[in-house]
Amino acid sequence: MDDLRYTTTEEDAGLYVKEVLQRRLRISSRLMRKLKFSGGVALNGEPTPIKVRVKAGDLITVSYPEEQSYFEPYEYELDVPFEDPDLLVVNKPAGMVVHPTKGCLDRTLANALVYRMEQSGEVYKPRFVNRLDRDTSGLVIVGKNSHCQDFLMHEMDAGRVEKLYLAIASGSFGGVTAGTIDLPIAKDPDHTARRAVLADGFPSVTHFEVLGEANGYSLLRLRLETGRTHQIRVHMSYTGHTLLGDDLYGGKSPLMGRQALHAYSLSFTHPVSGEKIYVRATLPEDMLSAARALDLEDFYEDQILRSRDRSDRLVPSYNDGEA
Helices assigned H by DSSP within 158-284 = 231-238
Helices assigned H by DSSP within 179-277 = 231-238
Quick check: is 133 catalytic? Answer: yes
The Cα-based distances of 52 to 12, 16, 25, 29 in angstroms read: 12, 5, 17, 17
Taking the C-alpha atoms of 201, 235, 320 and 279 in order, what is their torsion angle to the nearest 10 degrees? 110
**Cα–Cα distance, 114 to 123 (Å, whole number):** 9
**Cα–Cα distance, 303 to 220 (Å, whole number):** 10
**Cα–Cα distance, 88 to 301 (Å, whole number):** 27
Within 8 A by CB and 6+ apart from 83, the residues are 89
**Cα–Cα distance, 75 to 174 (Å, whole number):** 47
Strand positions, DSSP E, the chain = 4-7, 41-43, 46-47, 59-62, 79-83, 87-92, 127-128, 137-143, 162-170, 178-182, 185-187, 195-197, 205-214, 217-224, 261-269, 276-280
The Cα-based distances of 306 to 137, 207, 297, 314 in angstroms read: 21, 18, 14, 12
Q: Which of 133, 135, 182, 286 is catalytic?
A: 133
**Cα–Cα distance, 201 to 56 (Å, whole number):** 50
Q: How far is CA 227 from the centre of its chain?
A: 9
Residue numbers annotated as active site: 133
